[in-house]
Amino acid sequence: MQEPGRDSVDVKFSDFFEGWLNESYYANAAKIGKSGDFYTAVSVGSFFGICIAREILRLSADFCATQELSLDAAANPDRSRQNLAASELNLDAAPAKKSHDSAKIAIVEIGSHDGRLLCDIAQAIFTLGGAAALDKFSFAIIEPHERLRELQRASFAESFSDEIALKHFTSAHEAKFKDAIFVANELFDAFKCEAVDGENMLFIESGAAKFAPIKEREILTLARRFSISRGEIPVGYFRFAREICASAQRFYFIAFDYGQMGASGDFSLRIYRNHEIFSFFEVQNLSDFYGKSDLTYDVNFEILRAAFEDAGVVTADFKRQIAALIDFGAAELLDLFMQKSGENGYHNALLQFNHLRAEFGEKFKMIKFKKGL
């Protein structure tokens, strides 16, 4: 994708968005945090990851509640019955041996950036549950960009040396797990999108935004299905949900992002540069920002929910992010900090919690999906 202004060819906004954000900005390992263009809940400190770790420990019991045999039988009943008969009769046809990691629950982060959140989760699992709890899990990141994979490997090496292995996959399609808990923080606002206004959709011509009639059946169908007359329509949610569903026999998927359930009725496209916010449609020269600043929009959780449910997944929960963290045990964790880390540790954790409550309040949501559980 060329920078805007290089030629006069109309470019679909979704292609422009992908070239800007995922082929340029994130591929070049954009900085996130106080020194970057924006910050996330992970930038606040480790308390966000500690809360998620506590919830993962709770959810992990659900995988143990279902016997392995029943899962195998559901996937392939004839072969499972044959294997059971062979083992009962003590024949040579013994059940296939599993690798060490295949018996573990994979904790898989998607959209990890530098890997700090997964490091925080792994450390908290060890702190809260000890080595026995940590040994129940393996750790993986789905990351298409090599520069970010390098940052993630460096984060794990710095935190754990070689004591915790990290596995990488370049896509959800490539990843295969028996049991998994997926975690995604501010992932879905980075999916490319189209922007529609009535019967028209957004194009970029010579670096300027213009609207022209919608000609793609998929966009018309989504606009009508989700009552979007003006706003963004994400491209790729349905395919991604199918890939996640195919990647694991049983899973939970926990996602955090900003947005609302249903159409907002207006555009939310905006640019972040050095913590300043610019409305996309008010920028005079997009070349000044292209690939060098963050481009984002609010997530329509109704579309995201439909994508997963169409793939055969159950929506387990949806609420404000801060309410989810409280459900995950934030208050109990603060008490634990007071008991184990003293007043300084408690106040540090409390500051982080208050920051998450103040800065990531009404607009930030958590949605949880599950399959086979």
Query: Residue 81: which pLDDT band, with cuts at 50, 70 and 90?
Result: very low
Q: What pLDDT was estimated at residue 75? A: 42
136-186 pLDDT, tens digit each: 999 999 999 999 999 999 999 999 999 999 999 999 999 999 999 999 999
Q: How many residues does the chain have?
A: 373
Mean pLDDT of 69-90: 33
Token output for 367: 């949605």
0.85 surpassed by pTM: yes
Residue 313 has pLDDT above 50, yes or no: yes
Q: What pLDDT was estimated at residue 71? A: 38
Ramachandran bin of 266, using left for φ above 0, alpha for ψ from -120 to 50, beta for the remaining angles: beta
CATH class given for the domain over 38-74+100-195+217-274+294-371: alpha beta
Q: What pLDDT was estimated at residue 30? A: 72
Residue 235 has pLDDT above 50, yes or no: yes
Q: What pLDDT was estimated at residue 14? A: 96
Q: What pLDDT was estimated at residue 102? A: 67
CA distance 322 to 48: 10
Of 94-98, 244-248, 270-274, 355-359, the one with minimum mean pLDDT is 94-98
CA distances from 31 to 113, 253, 272 (A): 9, 26, 12
User: Domains of the chain: which residue ranges?
Assistant: 38-74+100-195+217-274+294-371
User: 354 vs 81, which has greater pLDDT?
Assistant: 354
